[in-house]
Amino acid sequence: MVRGLLNKLVSRSLSVAGKWQHHQLRRLNIHEYQGAELMGKHGVNVPRGVAVSSVEEVRKAIKEFFPNEKELVVKSQILAGGRGLGTFKSGLQGGVHIVKTEQVEDLAGKMLGQILVTKQTGPQGKIVSKVYLCEKLSLVNEMYFAITLDRTTAGPIIIACSKGGTSIEDLAEKFPDMIIKVPVDVFEGITDEDAAKVVDGLAPKGADRNKSIEQVKNLYKLFIDCDCTLLEINPIAETADNQLVAADAKLNFDDNAAYRQKEIFALRDTTQEDPREVTAAKADLNYIGLDGEIGCMVNGAGLAMATMDIIKLHGGTPANFLDVGGNASEGQVIEAFKILTADDKVKAILVNIFGGIMKCDVIASGIVNAAKEVALKVPVIVRLEGTNVDQGKRILKESGMALITAEDLDDAAQKAVKAAYK
């Protein structure tokens, strides 16, 4: 029973480092080649590689960086996992290949500019604008390593497993006893003892123990110095010459640190992101696109989650998470409506505002002005409560708009579902 509970706790804490990571709200994600360059600057062993964006650059890179290599690793660069098992819409199987050097140019040409679909991209896939050419290393042992933030210990936690090269969810299921977790005191920093525990968890077969400890400490320093929310290396591997190498890596960074990590945030590739989320971020709105039919505009993350839940309770499906915050301007409300109405799947919009800091009359004015700028073709259900609620309701009533008003959240959700699926 205790062991079963431990397994559940392990799986829960690992979820941040696994498949749920891409659902985090507005966390900078960078490409593999960018992460490798960053790690190299921080003293972490990485394979020699170069990113290219055209066939001409491929030819030049091979001649300049890999003149004597017989084989190279060709990796498509998209901001999603599962590339190796992905499929291009052109029919090419796999986004990562090891090929003879003379085949690299042809393969890269088939990847560049094409759409790669993986388990994490959704059916729409993502376009490959760059491929990463790497030296082929002789890997004799593959392990798993990650650093993320742990709510329980209120600080960084290092996760290590002596098995690697596959998803952490699979590892947690198949080898729960092999996974170790080492919390680090954020004020004291990583100690030699902490790093040694991690190396023991990795259980390298031939790599020098002291050098491995230094690599772990370098990775932790990178995590802290660069304000990471996730640093995942899968696999971290041993080479035939007993070096510990970060063979593949995923790094995410805290958006709150953008002001002091300008070089890192300049690496952001908005072409890989949902354009609605990019637009929302520019307007300082918290938005995540989903797959439903009922658009939501709410103030406050907690209320937004509750709104989504009650829509589901009444048989509907939310089209998005959209939090306008507690101090949104009329202009932000207008932008929010533009984003919602740009989604062809949206069949109804539910506006749910509880005015504390946010004033109901501001929201109401924003709705009215948005209607003037955007041709509203779907029903709009509005529930207002709180500060200046009477003024807000009066503005809506005098606007002459065909709005559906609701007295409480339950009533609003029912009306939204009915309007969307009538």
Enumerate the active-site residues. 144, 232
Question: What single-letter DSSP state applies at residue 130?
Answer: E
Position 344, amino acid: D
The answer to whether 234 is a known ligand-binding residue is yes
The answer to whether 358 is a known ligand-binding residue is yes
Angle at 241 between CA 131 and CA 73, to 5 degrees: 15
Cα 277 to Cα 359: distance, rounded to the nearest angstrom:
25
Q: Which of 165, 148, 166 is nearest to 157 (CA)?
A: 148
The answer to whether 299 is a known ligand-binding residue is yes
The answer to whether 122 is a known ligand-binding residue is no
Across the beta sheet with 115-117, the strand order is 87-88, 115-117, 126-127
Provide the angle, in degrees to the nearest 10, between the axes of the packed helices 275-282 and 330-341. Answer: 180
Cα 412 to Cα 350: distance, rounded to the nearest angstrom:
7
The answer to whether 84 is a known ligand-binding residue is yes
Q: Is the dihedral of CA 257, 262, 264, 265 positive or negative?
A: positive
Using DSSP's 3-state secondary structure scheme, residue 388 falls into coil
How many C-beta atoms lie closer than 10 Å to residue 282's C-beta?
10
Question: What single-letter DSSP state applies at residue 383?
Answer: E
Cα 40 to Cα 44: distance, rounded to the nearest angstrom:
5
The answer to whether 59 is a known ligand-binding residue is no
The answer to whether 242 is a known ligand-binding residue is no
Indicate the annotated binding residues for ATP: 75, 82-84, 142
Indicate the annotated binding residues for substrate: 299, 356-358
Indicate the annotated binding residues: 75, 82-84, 142, 234, 248, 299, 356-358
